[in-house]
Amino acid sequence: MTNGAPATVAEPLDTTEFRDVEARLKERFPAAMVDVERAHGEIDFTVRAGDLLSVARFLRDEPGLEFIHLADLTAIDRSALPARQRTRPGSQERFASIYQLYSIAQRRRIRLTVPAGGNDDKPTVPSLHPLWKAAFCMEREAFDLVGVHYEGHPDLRRILLPWDWVGHPLRKDQPLGGQDVPFSMIWNDPDFATLGRQILDPAPVQAPLPKGVDARQHVMLNMGPHHPATHGVLRIAVELDGERVISAHPDTGYLHSGFEKQGEHVRYKDFVPYTDRMDYTSAMCNNLGYCLAVEKLLEVEIPPRAQAIRVIVAELQRIAAHLVWIATHVLDTSGTGMALLMYALREREMIQDIFEMISGARLTYSYVRIGGVWRDTPPAFVAKVQEFLELFPQRLKQYERMLTKSVVLRKRLEGVGMLSREDALSLGATGPLLRGSGVYYDLRKLAPYSGYDRYDFDVPISERGDSYGRYLIRVEEMRQSLRIVSQALEDVKASEGQPWKSNDRKVALPPRSELDTSMEALIHHFKLVTEGLRPPAGEVYFGHENPKGELGYYIVSDGSAKPYRLRVRGPSFVNIFATNTMASGQYLADLVAIIGSIDIVLGEVDR
């Protein structure tokens, strides 16, 4: 395992103008480029659907471009956008597919917008699965929720909703849904007429098997959705030849919560609590990523003190999330019993105490807010964080003495769940799963935010490509997070008494002390509380380094107080679909170690 940036990673190149990319695309594909738009430091190329594969292959393979990472893929229904936002060439089609491509070598991101041809029943664009395996799950999600068909996809079917669901919920003509829930009922209510009687057909309905499995030659085994080692309500359809895994296909959606649909019906500030409830082991980081995306849309500056506080809570949350991971993963694989579980949760409780001190909560915090943080840190905050910084390094060494050279753990992890560099990039893997395959991709370094560029820390990577390498990376990441927290804590000390949220009164609530003396402050407070903030019309994508990988938010604003489109790119959702590649040829028992080494939370997978 190594630390630090490899020599192949350059300084950011032309990140706001992208003139070289535009010139080379127009020279190579003059008829394919429908439109180019620049806003918020991003560039959007509108590309004809018929040329998508050629353009994407050129962007991926051309020296000097090398957009090798398909960070995100989604779709949008533009039928309800205001007319002023549908005047660009290519914006008249109702549906479009959206692609976020990232060049690791050049440290820059571009967006492709591809209008979908065909009628409303079957809008169609070509599949990018021949270029990136990540398109397998992302295109299925866009098909499931928006109804865009991807021609050439090897197995285009629903991925979050039941296979026999009717309609596509993220279309604008689909209501928010839900059923009326009576607050009080009497025994004469018709709903009680069938109480105690079976009114639905009890016969089980078998969902279609994934394409490519041979149920006649091999045994099909369901691992989950009620299996403790899947770490949530996840079903893996496993194809077996004896005890050898032929294929393993994740079946997601058992916890589908409709967060993206809900996000289009609540004000920007009111979506922060929803982010807590996706990856609930990383709630602070979820808050941060969403707020950064909205702030990018608003183009608002965040005070240095607020940035330092955000960094501290994000890195403490990274440690807490990794502690949950190591506790459960070791319980699954190494045979240490409950000892490591108790030790890791003991240290996590210290972090929870700090979070409760500043937010009043221990799991879902909503502490990071648009414009800054909920409130300033209390006087005891610095001392409590310092106490943890002094204690945890020794506790981490105890974990390593128990585990790193453990014969049982190494037998379970070494050579298990192999993932090559090429497969990891093609599958869209991020976080320790990608870095464990030797790829230097950490957005805190490649695209720094919240002042991370001012802190000295290393990014551990491993060339092993197996589950043991991913274990080593997460242990070292906890140590590096301590370095970051220590430096950010000095910034918090130095900025005592300085602002901890934006002074823009159209973004953050004015201090309570101003309400008695300033009519303008009172008006701002009233409008923010009753109407919410209103970002300008436009679209942004912001990806940040969640403990499990890249958590991205793609937001389209129509100028109102609610997002027109709110897309969440979850790292667990993308990473779990690497299971088939990692498990093929392994033993069935290895699936437990493989799933654990990915580190998933089903609340974020299903959203």
476/337 same-domain check: yes
129/264 same-domain check: no
Residue 491 within a domain? yes
* Mean per-residue pLDDT, 586-600: 93
318/437 same-domain check: yes
- Of 151, 184, 216, the last residue of a domain is 151
Q: What is the pLDDT of residues 130-146, one digit of tens each?
A: 999 999 999 999 999 99
Q: Is residue 383 pLDDT above 90, yes or no? A: yes
C-alpha 352/C-alpha 283 separation (Å) is 12
pLDDT value, residue 492: 96
Residue 26 within a domain? yes
Q: Is residue 26 pLDDT above 60, yes or no? A: yes
530/405 same-domain check: yes
281/135 same-domain check: no
Residue 48 within a domain? yes
Q: What dihedral do alpha carbons 389, 394, 399, 401 form, nearest 10°?
A: 150
pLDDT value, residue 98: 97
- Of 135, 151, 167, the last residue of a domain is 151
Q: What is the pLDDT of residues 191-239, one digit of tens each?
A: 666 666 655 566 666 677 888 888 889 999 888 787 776 777 888 999 9
Three-state DSSP class for 554?
A: strand
Residue 585 within a domain? yes
- Measure Cα distances from 52 to 104, 146, 148 in Å: 21, 19, 15
CATH code, domain with 110: 3.30.460.80
277/144 same-domain check: no
Identify the bridge partners of residue 551 per DSSP, sorted by sequence position: 544
- Measure Cα distances from 204 to 173, 207, 412 in Å: 32, 9, 36
Q: What is the pLDDT of residues 267-293, one digit of tens each?
A: 999 999 999 999 889 999 999 999 999
Residue 240 within a domain? no
Residue 314 within a domain? yes
Convert 23-66 into a string of H (helix), E (strand) and C (coil).
HHHHHHCCCCEEEEEEECCEEEEEECHHHHHHHHHHHHHCCCCC
pLDDT value, residue 154: 94
146/271 same-domain check: no
Banded model confidence at residue 440, pLDDT cuts 50, 70, 90:
very high
276/136 same-domain check: no
Q: Is residue 180 pLDDT above 50, yes or no? A: yes
* Mean per-residue pLDDT, 306-319: 97
Residue 246 within a domain? no
CATH code, domain with 366: 1.10.645.10
Domain limits at 66? 19-151
- Of 151, 172, 189, the last residue of a domain is 151
Find the range with the poorest average confidence among 215-219, 522-526, 555-559: 522-526
| Mean of all residue pLDDT scores within the chain | 90
pLDDT value, residue 8: 45
Banded model confidence at residue 585, pLDDT cuts 50, 70, 90:
very high
Q: What is the pLDDT of residues 45-68, one digit of tens each?
A: 999 999 999 999 999 999 999 999
Q: What is the pLDDT of residues 68-125, one digit of tens each?
A: 999 999 999 999 999 888 888 888 999 999 999 999 999 999 999 999 988 889 999 9
141/268 same-domain check: no
DSSP β-ladder status, 95-103 and 69-77: antiparallel
* Mean per-residue pLDDT, 233-261: 91
265/134 same-domain check: no
Residue 166 within a domain? no
Find the range with the poorest average confidence among 157-166, 419-428, 523-532, 565-574: 523-532
147/293 same-domain check: no
**Residue 368 near residue 498 (C-beta atoms within 8 A):** no
Banded model confidence at residue 337, pLDDT cuts 50, 70, 90:
low
Domain total for the chain?
Answer: 2
Identify the bridge partners of residue 569 per DSSP, sorted by sequence position: 552
